[in-house]
Structure 1
Amino acid sequence: MSTATDVCELAVRVRDQLARRHPGAAIGELRPLPGGHSGLTYSVTAGDARYVVKAVPPGQRPIGRNDVLRQARVLGALAGTAVPVPGVVCVDETQPAWFAMDFADGEAVEPVLDEAAVSAATARARMLEIARVLRRLHDSDVHTPGLDAPEPLDAAGELERWSRTMRAVPAELRPGGEELLARLAVDVPGGLPPVLLHGDFRLGNVLCVGERAVAVVDWEIWSVGDPRIDLGWFLLFTDHRNFPQLGRAVPGLPTEAELLEAYLDGRPRLPNMDWFRALGRMKMAAIMGHNLRRHREGKHHDPDQERLPPTIAAMIRTARDILG
Structure 2
Amino acid sequence: MSTLTAVTELAARVRRRLAPLHPGEPLGRLETLPGGHSGLTYSITAGPARYVVKAVPPGQRPVGRNDVLRQARMLYALAGSPVPVPGVVAVDEREPAWFAMEFVPGEAVEPVLDEHRLDPALCRTRMLGLAPVLRGLHQAEARGPAPAAPDALDPAGELERWSRTMRAVPAELRPGADELLPRLAATAPPGLPPVLTHGDFRLGNVLCRGKEAAAVVDWEIWGAGDPRTDLGWFLLFTDHRNFPRLGRPVPGLPGESELLDAYLDGRPAPPAFDWFRALARTKMAAIMGHNLRRHREGKHHDPDQERLPPTIAAMIRDARDILG
TM over 0.5: yes
Q: Contact (CA 8 Å) 1:153, 1:223: kept in 2 or not?
A: no
In structure 1, the residue matched to 2:321 is 321
**Distance in structure 1 (CA, Å) of the matches to 2:53 and 2:116:** 25
In structure 2, the residue matched to 1:125 is 125
In structure 1, the residue matched to 2:86 is 86
Amino acid at match of 2:199: G
In structure 2, the residue matched to 1:181 is 181
Secondary structure of 1:185 counterpart: helix
Secondary structure of 1:91 counterpart: strand
**Distance in structure 1 (CA, Å) of the matches to 2:2 and 2:47:** 27
In structure 1, the residue matched to 2:212 is 212
Q: Contact (CA 8 Å) 1:2, 1:58: kept in 2 or not?
A: no
| Counterpart mapping for 1:1-324 below 5 A | 3-141=3-141, 144-324=144-324
**Distance in structure 2 (CA, Å) of the matches to 1:99 and 1:54:** 6
Secondary structure of 2:320 counterpart: helix
Secondary structure of 2:314 counterpart: helix
Q: Report the CA distance between 1:191 and its aligned residue.
A: 0.7
Secondary structure of 2:141 counterpart: coil
Amino acid at match of 1:149: A
**Distance in structure 2 (CA, Å) of the matches to 1:51 and 1:281:** 36
Secondary structure of 1:192 counterpart: coil
Secondary structure of 1:137 counterpart: helix
Kindly tell me: are residues 245 and 216 of structure 1, through their superposed partners in 2, closer, same or farther at Cα, counting changes over 3 Å?
Answer: same
**Distance in structure 2 (CA, Å) of the matches to 1:186 and 1:223:** 25
Where does the alignment leave 5 or more consecutive residues of structure 2 unmatched? none
**Distance in structure 2 (CA, Å) of the matches to 1:134 and 1:35:** 23
Secondary structure of 2:294 counterpart: helix
Q: Report the CA distance between 1:34 and its aligned residue.
A: 1.1
Q: Report the CA distance between 1:25 and its aligned residue.
A: 1.0
**Distance in structure 1 (CA, Å) of the matches to 2:298 and 2:148:** 38
**Distance in structure 2 (CA, Å) of the matches to 1:2 and 1:43:** 20
Q: C-alpha offsets along residues 59-101 of structure 1, whole Å, 9 cap, x if unaligned?
A: 0000111000000000000001111000000000001000000
Amino acid at match of 2:172: E
Give me the CA root mean square deviation.
1.2
**Distance in structure 2 (CA, Å) of the matches to 1:292 and 1:226:** 28
Percent of aligned positions that are identical: 76
Secondary structure of 2:23 counterpart: coil
Q: Contact (CA 8 Å) 2:77, 2:143: kept in 1 or not?
A: no
When normalised by structure 2's length, the TM-score is: 0.98
**Distance in structure 1 (CA, Å) of the matches to 2:130 and 2:316:** 26
Aligned residue pairs total 324
Amino acid at match of 2:12: V
Kindly tell me: are residues 9 and 102 of structure 1, through their superposed partners in 2, closer, same or farther at Cα, counting changes over 3 Å?
Answer: same
**Distance in structure 1 (CA, Å) of the matches to 2:263 and 2:29:** 41
**Distance in structure 2 (CA, Å) of the matches to 1:253 and 1:147:** 35
**Distance in structure 1 (CA, Å) of the matches to 2:2 and 2:280:** 34
Secondary structure of 2:35 counterpart: coil
Q: Report the CA distance between 1:182 and its aligned residue.
A: 1.2
Q: Report the CA distance between 1:150 and its aligned residue.
A: 2.5
Runs of 4+ aligned residues of structure 1 deviating over 4 Å after TM superposition are none
